């Protein structure tokens, strides 16, 4: 019960890593604001069925007004806000660099990068006024170097990593810590296409074969690291990006693609 009596906001809580995070925080005693465009009510129902405390909040992660409302809801329902897991994101597909448009980039950056910025912008001053708090943003191993995602997605996640570093510095002395988790291949709705294709063709055993653990990850494994970074056990961890990827980012092996040719 590391989070008994605390208030936590999780964006993208309707599915995947966000849902796993919301459930985990609730199991450890937190009151949780579950924010998402859809699915948040189901997450809340699961938490309440287990005896936990939660409230759903419809939210577009890239909307200033929506994020401000979600942060305010945490204070209204649970009296404070101690932790934010800025997790909401979109993949944007796997189109190549020259097959994406400016509009594609703008939408991915709006959700994946401006979204975490808005979470920090609205939550950090409230936390600082109360003496401190923890913000964890979901980045990706794709933000560490190339080879793990599409170009706009990778760029947006690289931005998240730099955002937490910049925010940690600008919040010096506030008691607010800002960190990121960088998941590798995790089975969620965002990666369903990869998993479904592998299973359909009898290649499920090949999922995650590029990392040293030779498997894909589970959302709960990422949530466990999020909870650690939010807890007092990580009181001296700030401005960092933690890879949760089975060792993939230790080398990022990837097939090479020549300009104008298909990867083999």
Extract the tokens encoding 45.
């129902």
| Integer angstrom CA distances of residue 162 from 140, 144, 155, 178 | 12, 10, 11, 11
- Could you say which of 153, 195, 236, 259 is catalytic? 153
* C-beta of residue 54 within 8 angstroms of C-beta of residue 64: no
- Report the distance separating Cα 263 and Cα 185, nearest Å: 20
- Report the distance separating Cα 100 and Cα 108, nearest Å: 11
Number of CB atoms found within 10 A of residue 132's CB: 15
DSSP bridge partners of 242: 181
Radius of gyration of the chain (CA): 18
Helix axes 102-109, 151-170, angle to 10 degrees: 40
- Report the distance separating Cα 51 and Cα 45, nearest Å: 10
- Report the distance separating Cα 245 and Cα 226, nearest Å: 14
Q: Is 195 a catalytic residue?
A: no
| Burial of 222 (C-beta count, 10 Å sphere; 0-12/13-18/19+) | buried
Residues that are catalytic: 153
């Amino acid at each position: 019960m590391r989070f008994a009596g605390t208030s936590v906001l999780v964006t993208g809580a309707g599915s995947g890593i966000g849902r796993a995070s919301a459930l985990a925080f609730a199991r450890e005693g937190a009151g949780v604001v579950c924010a998402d465009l859809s699915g948040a009510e189901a997450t809340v129902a699961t938490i309440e069925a287990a005896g936990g405390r939660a409230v759903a909040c419809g939210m577009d992660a890239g909307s200033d007004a929506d994020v401000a409302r979600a942060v305010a809801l945490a204070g209204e329902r649970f009296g404070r806000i101690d932790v934010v897991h800025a997790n909401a994101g979109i993949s944007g597909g796997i189109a190549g660099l020259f097959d994406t448009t400016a509009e594609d980039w703008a939408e991915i950056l709006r959700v994946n990068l401006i979204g975490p910025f808005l979470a920090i912008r609205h939550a950090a001053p409230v936390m600082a006024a109360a003496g401190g708090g923890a913000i964890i943003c979901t980045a990706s191993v794709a933000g560490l170097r190339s080879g793990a995602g599409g170009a706009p997605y990778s760029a947006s996640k690289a931005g998240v990593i730099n955002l937490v570093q910049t925010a940690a510095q600008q919040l010096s002395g506030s008691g607010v810590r800002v960190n990121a988790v960088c998941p590798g291949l995790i089975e969620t709705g965002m990666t369903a296409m990869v998993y479904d294709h592998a299973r359909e063709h009898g290649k499920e055993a090949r999922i995650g074969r590029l990392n040293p653990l030779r498997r894909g990850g589970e959302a709960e494994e990422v949530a466990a690291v999020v909870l650690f970074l939010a807890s007092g056990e990580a009181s001296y961890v700030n401005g960092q990006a933690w890879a949760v990827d089975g060792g993939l980012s230790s080398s990022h092996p990837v097939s090479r693609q020549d300009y104008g040719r298909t990867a083999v």
